[in-house]
Amino acid sequence: MSNRVRYDIDGHFFIIKLIDPKHLNSLTFEDFVYIALLLHKANEIDSVLFTVLQSSGKYFSSGGKFSAVNKLNEGESTNEVEKISKLVSAISSPNIFVANAFAVHKKVLVCCLNGPAIGLSASLVALCDIVYSQNDSVFLLFPFSNLGFVAEVGTSVTLTQKLGINSANEHMIFSTPVLFKELLGTIITKNYQLADTEIFNKKVLQDLKQSLDGLYPKSVLGMKELLHRQMKEKLIKAQAMETNGTLPFWASGEPFKRFQQLQKGNRRHRL
Protein backbone atom coordinates (compact mmCIF):
# COMPACT_ATOMS: atom_id res chain seq x y z
CA MET A 1 0.00 0.00 0.00
CA SER A 2 1.03 3.62 -0.53
CA ASN A 3 -0.29 7.02 0.49
CA ARG A 4 0.73 8.33 -2.94
CA VAL A 5 -0.63 5.60 -5.21
CA ARG A 6 -4.02 3.91 -5.37
CA TYR A 7 -5.83 1.64 -7.80
CA ASP A 8 -9.37 0.95 -8.98
CA ILE A 9 -10.93 -1.57 -11.33
CA ASP A 10 -13.59 -0.39 -13.76
CA GLY A 11 -14.70 -3.24 -15.98
CA HIS A 12 -11.93 -3.90 -18.50
CA PHE A 13 -9.77 -1.13 -17.00
CA PHE A 14 -7.27 -1.40 -14.16
CA ILE A 15 -6.56 2.20 -13.10
CA ILE A 16 -3.40 3.18 -11.22
CA LYS A 17 -3.49 6.76 -9.97
CA LEU A 18 -0.89 9.04 -8.38
CA ILE A 19 -2.65 10.97 -5.62
CA ASP A 20 -0.14 13.35 -4.02
CA PRO A 21 -0.50 16.59 -6.03
CA LYS A 22 0.64 18.67 -3.05
CA HIS A 23 4.13 17.24 -3.52
CA LEU A 24 3.89 17.10 -7.35
CA ASN A 25 3.30 13.35 -7.12
CA SER A 26 6.93 12.64 -6.28
CA LEU A 27 7.53 8.97 -5.43
CA THR A 28 9.74 6.83 -3.21
CA PHE A 29 11.47 3.65 -4.39
CA GLU A 30 8.76 1.74 -2.52
CA ASP A 31 6.09 3.59 -4.54
CA PHE A 32 7.70 2.53 -7.82
CA VAL A 33 7.83 -1.06 -6.57
CA TYR A 34 4.16 -0.83 -5.56
CA ILE A 35 3.25 0.33 -9.08
CA ALA A 36 5.12 -2.70 -10.44
CA LEU A 37 3.20 -4.98 -8.08
CA LEU A 38 -0.06 -3.46 -9.30
CA LEU A 39 0.95 -4.26 -12.88
CA HIS A 40 1.41 -7.88 -11.84
CA LYS A 41 -1.99 -7.76 -10.14
CA ALA A 42 -3.63 -6.43 -13.31
CA ASN A 43 -1.99 -9.21 -15.31
CA GLU A 44 -3.75 -11.82 -13.20
CA ILE A 45 -7.27 -10.45 -13.77
CA ASP A 46 -8.68 -12.04 -16.93
CA SER A 47 -11.35 -9.38 -17.47
CA VAL A 48 -8.80 -6.54 -17.55
CA LEU A 49 -7.66 -5.44 -21.01
CA PHE A 50 -6.16 -2.03 -20.25
CA THR A 51 -3.95 -0.77 -17.45
CA VAL A 52 -4.37 3.01 -17.22
CA LEU A 53 -1.89 5.29 -15.45
CA GLN A 54 -3.47 8.50 -14.18
CA SER A 55 -2.25 11.33 -11.99
CA SER A 56 -3.62 14.41 -10.22
CA GLY A 57 -2.92 18.12 -10.03
CA LYS A 58 -0.56 19.91 -12.41
CA TYR A 59 2.31 17.40 -12.55
CA PHE A 60 2.17 13.78 -13.61
CA SER A 61 5.15 13.23 -11.32
CA SER A 62 8.25 15.21 -10.41
CA GLY A 63 10.16 11.95 -10.05
CA GLY A 64 11.85 10.38 -7.06
CA LYS A 65 11.62 12.05 -3.67
CA PHE A 66 14.93 13.70 -2.86
CA SER A 67 14.64 12.71 0.81
CA ALA A 68 14.05 9.06 -0.09
CA VAL A 69 17.20 8.96 -2.25
CA ASN A 70 19.33 10.77 0.34
CA LYS A 71 18.14 8.40 3.05
CA LEU A 72 19.87 5.56 1.20
CA ASN A 73 23.21 7.27 1.81
CA GLU A 74 22.81 7.47 5.60
CA GLY A 75 25.36 5.55 7.63
CA GLU A 76 27.68 5.08 4.67
CA SER A 77 29.93 2.04 5.12
CA THR A 78 33.67 2.02 4.46
CA ASN A 79 33.42 -1.69 3.63
CA GLU A 80 33.25 -1.90 -0.18
CA VAL A 81 31.29 -5.16 -0.24
CA GLU A 82 28.67 -3.84 2.18
CA LYS A 83 28.44 -0.59 0.22
CA ILE A 84 27.84 -2.28 -3.14
CA SER A 85 25.45 -4.83 -1.64
CA LYS A 86 23.37 -2.01 -0.16
CA LEU A 87 23.24 -0.19 -3.51
CA VAL A 88 22.25 -3.36 -5.37
CA SER A 89 19.47 -3.99 -2.87
CA ALA A 90 18.20 -0.41 -2.63
CA ILE A 91 18.60 0.82 -6.22
CA SER A 92 19.53 -1.85 -8.76
CA SER A 93 17.01 -4.51 -7.75
CA PRO A 94 13.98 -2.14 -7.62
CA ASN A 95 14.95 -0.65 -11.00
CA ILE A 96 15.12 -4.09 -12.60
CA PHE A 97 11.87 -5.18 -10.94
CA VAL A 98 9.97 -2.10 -12.13
CA ALA A 99 11.40 -2.12 -15.65
CA ASN A 100 10.65 -5.83 -16.02
CA ALA A 101 7.05 -5.39 -14.77
CA PHE A 102 6.43 -2.91 -17.58
CA ALA A 103 8.34 -4.95 -20.18
CA VAL A 104 6.34 -8.15 -19.60
CA HIS A 105 2.97 -6.53 -18.91
CA LYS A 106 0.25 -8.31 -20.92
CA LYS A 107 -2.39 -5.59 -20.87
CA VAL A 108 -2.43 -2.46 -23.02
CA LEU A 109 -0.65 0.27 -21.04
CA VAL A 110 -2.25 3.70 -21.38
CA CYS A 111 -0.82 6.84 -19.77
CA CYS A 112 -2.96 9.93 -19.11
CA LEU A 113 -0.19 12.52 -19.11
CA ASN A 114 -1.68 15.49 -17.26
CA GLY A 115 1.56 17.41 -16.80
CA PRO A 116 5.35 17.19 -16.70
CA ALA A 117 7.02 13.89 -15.79
CA ILE A 118 10.61 13.82 -14.57
CA GLY A 119 13.25 11.15 -14.00
CA LEU A 120 12.06 7.62 -13.27
CA SER A 121 8.46 8.78 -13.63
CA ALA A 122 9.21 10.00 -17.16
CA SER A 123 10.73 6.58 -17.82
CA LEU A 124 7.42 4.95 -16.91
CA VAL A 125 5.59 7.20 -19.36
CA ALA A 126 7.99 6.18 -22.12
CA LEU A 127 7.30 2.50 -21.31
CA CYS A 128 3.56 2.86 -21.97
CA ASP A 129 1.95 1.63 -25.20
CA ILE A 130 -0.34 4.63 -25.67
CA VAL A 131 0.08 8.12 -24.18
CA TYR A 132 -2.56 10.88 -24.23
CA SER A 133 -1.77 14.42 -23.08
CA GLN A 134 -4.04 16.80 -21.21
CA ASN A 135 -2.61 19.89 -22.97
CA ASP A 136 0.46 21.15 -24.78
CA SER A 137 2.27 22.15 -21.56
CA VAL A 138 3.41 18.63 -20.81
CA PHE A 139 7.04 17.58 -21.15
CA LEU A 140 9.33 14.70 -20.20
CA LEU A 141 12.71 15.24 -18.57
CA PHE A 142 15.38 12.59 -18.06
CA PRO A 143 17.98 14.47 -15.97
CA PHE A 144 20.20 11.45 -15.33
CA SER A 145 23.46 13.05 -16.54
CA ASN A 146 22.64 16.15 -14.49
CA LEU A 147 22.16 13.95 -11.43
CA GLY A 148 25.39 12.04 -11.90
CA PHE A 149 24.38 8.67 -13.37
CA VAL A 150 23.19 7.13 -16.66
CA ALA A 151 20.04 5.73 -18.28
CA GLU A 152 17.70 3.64 -16.14
CA VAL A 153 14.37 1.80 -16.37
CA GLY A 154 14.50 1.10 -20.08
CA THR A 155 15.18 4.61 -21.37
CA SER A 156 18.17 3.48 -23.42
CA VAL A 157 15.64 1.51 -25.48
CA THR A 158 12.36 3.43 -25.27
CA LEU A 159 13.76 6.84 -26.19
CA THR A 160 15.92 5.65 -29.07
CA GLN A 161 12.99 3.58 -30.37
CA LYS A 162 10.30 6.25 -30.01
CA LEU A 163 12.15 9.56 -30.43
CA GLY A 164 14.90 8.36 -32.74
CA ILE A 165 18.58 7.93 -31.95
CA ASN A 166 19.71 11.51 -32.63
CA SER A 167 16.99 13.12 -30.51
CA ALA A 168 17.52 10.58 -27.73
CA ASN A 169 21.24 11.33 -27.80
CA GLU A 170 20.65 15.04 -27.36
CA HIS A 171 18.05 14.81 -24.59
CA MET A 172 19.82 12.08 -22.60
CA ILE A 173 23.35 13.42 -22.89
CA PHE A 174 22.45 17.05 -22.12
CA SER A 175 19.50 16.37 -19.75
CA THR A 176 17.20 18.63 -21.75
CA PRO A 177 13.39 18.39 -21.64
CA VAL A 178 11.47 16.65 -24.41
CA LEU A 179 8.82 19.26 -25.18
CA PHE A 180 5.28 18.69 -26.41
CA LYS A 181 6.06 19.57 -30.03
CA GLU A 182 8.49 16.64 -30.19
CA LEU A 183 6.37 14.29 -28.08
CA LEU A 184 3.30 14.61 -30.29
CA GLY A 185 3.44 11.91 -32.91
CA THR A 186 6.30 10.04 -31.23
CA ILE A 187 5.31 9.25 -27.64
CA ILE A 188 2.01 11.16 -27.43
CA THR A 189 -0.69 10.11 -29.89
CA LYS A 190 -3.47 12.53 -28.93
CA ASN A 191 -3.76 15.89 -27.17
CA TYR A 192 -7.03 16.64 -25.37
CA GLN A 193 -6.34 20.34 -24.70
CA LEU A 194 -8.23 20.35 -21.39
CA ALA A 195 -7.62 22.52 -18.32
CA ASP A 196 -8.91 20.23 -15.56
CA THR A 197 -7.05 17.01 -14.74
CA GLU A 198 -10.04 15.09 -13.40
CA ILE A 199 -12.12 15.96 -16.46
CA PHE A 200 -9.19 14.82 -18.62
CA ASN A 201 -8.91 11.49 -16.79
CA LYS A 202 -12.64 10.84 -17.11
CA LYS A 203 -12.69 11.83 -20.78
CA VAL A 204 -9.84 9.47 -21.67
CA LEU A 205 -11.54 6.58 -19.87
CA GLN A 206 -14.82 7.39 -21.61
CA ASP A 207 -13.12 7.45 -25.02
CA LEU A 208 -11.32 4.18 -24.32
CA LYS A 209 -14.61 2.50 -23.46
CA GLN A 210 -16.16 3.76 -26.69
CA SER A 211 -13.15 2.62 -28.71
CA LEU A 212 -13.35 -0.83 -27.14
CA ASP A 213 -16.97 -1.30 -28.16
CA GLY A 214 -17.27 -4.12 -30.70
CA LEU A 215 -13.66 -5.29 -30.37
CA TYR A 216 -12.82 -8.91 -29.55
CA PRO A 217 -10.97 -8.94 -26.18
CA LYS A 218 -8.54 -11.71 -27.13
CA SER A 219 -7.64 -9.80 -30.30
CA VAL A 220 -6.83 -6.70 -28.23
CA LEU A 221 -4.36 -8.58 -26.03
CA GLY A 222 -3.03 -10.60 -28.96
CA MET A 223 -2.33 -7.38 -30.86
CA LYS A 224 -0.49 -5.96 -27.85
CA GLU A 225 1.68 -9.08 -27.70
CA LEU A 226 2.61 -8.96 -31.38
CA LEU A 227 3.29 -5.22 -31.49
CA HIS A 228 5.27 -5.24 -28.26
CA ARG A 229 7.31 -8.41 -28.78
CA GLN A 230 10.44 -6.82 -30.23
CA MET A 231 10.35 -3.96 -27.73
CA LYS A 232 9.98 -6.46 -24.87
CA GLU A 233 13.02 -8.41 -25.99
CA LYS A 234 15.11 -5.24 -26.25
CA LEU A 235 13.95 -4.01 -22.82
CA ILE A 236 14.78 -7.28 -21.10
CA LYS A 237 18.29 -7.27 -22.63
CA ALA A 238 18.80 -3.61 -21.72
CA GLN A 239 17.92 -4.05 -18.04
CA ALA A 240 21.21 -5.72 -17.13
CA MET A 241 23.23 -3.28 -19.21
CA GLU A 242 21.55 -0.23 -17.66
CA THR A 243 21.85 -1.57 -14.13
CA ASN A 244 25.50 -2.53 -14.46
CA GLY A 245 26.19 0.73 -16.26
CA THR A 246 24.66 3.00 -13.63
CA LEU A 247 25.80 1.15 -10.47
CA PRO A 248 29.40 2.51 -10.53
CA PHE A 249 28.04 6.05 -10.62
CA TRP A 250 25.96 5.46 -7.50
CA ALA A 251 28.93 3.75 -5.85
CA SER A 252 31.05 6.84 -6.51
CA GLY A 253 28.64 8.89 -4.39
CA GLU A 254 28.18 11.61 -7.02
CA PRO A 255 24.37 11.12 -7.42
CA PHE A 256 23.87 11.34 -3.65
CA LYS A 257 25.84 14.59 -3.52
CA ARG A 258 23.68 16.05 -6.29
CA PHE A 259 20.40 14.89 -4.73
CA GLN A 260 21.47 16.54 -1.48
CA GLN A 261 22.08 19.76 -3.39
CA LEU A 262 18.59 19.49 -4.88
CA GLN A 263 17.02 18.95 -1.48
CA LYS A 264 18.86 21.97 -0.06
CA GLY A 265 17.94 24.12 -3.08
CA ASN A 266 21.55 24.48 -4.26
CA ARG A 267 20.86 22.66 -7.53
CA ARG A 268 17.90 22.63 -9.89
CA HIS A 269 16.68 20.29 -12.60
CA ARG A 270 17.58 21.66 -16.03
CA LEU A 271 14.10 22.65 -17.16
Task: Return the HEC string of the chain.
Answer: CCCCEEEEEECCEEEEEECCHHHCCCECHHHHHHHHHHHHHHHCCCCCCEEEEECCCCCCECCECHHHHHHCCCCCCCCHHHHHHHHHHHHHHHHHHHHHHHHCCCCEEEEEECCCEECHHHHHHHHCCEEEECCCCCEEECCHHHHCCCCCCCHHHHHHHHCCHHHHHHHHHHCCCEEHHHHECCCEEEECCCCCHHHHHHHHHHHHHHHHCCCCHHHHHHHHHHHHHHHHHHHHHHHHHHHHHHHHHHHHCHHHHHHHHHHHCCCCCCC
Active-site entry in 74, 76, 152, 170: 152
82 catalytic residue (yes or no) = no
R_g over Cα of the chain: 18
Is 134:114 a contact under the CB 8 Å cutoff? Answer: yes
Query: Could you give the residue numbers annotated as active site?
Result: 152
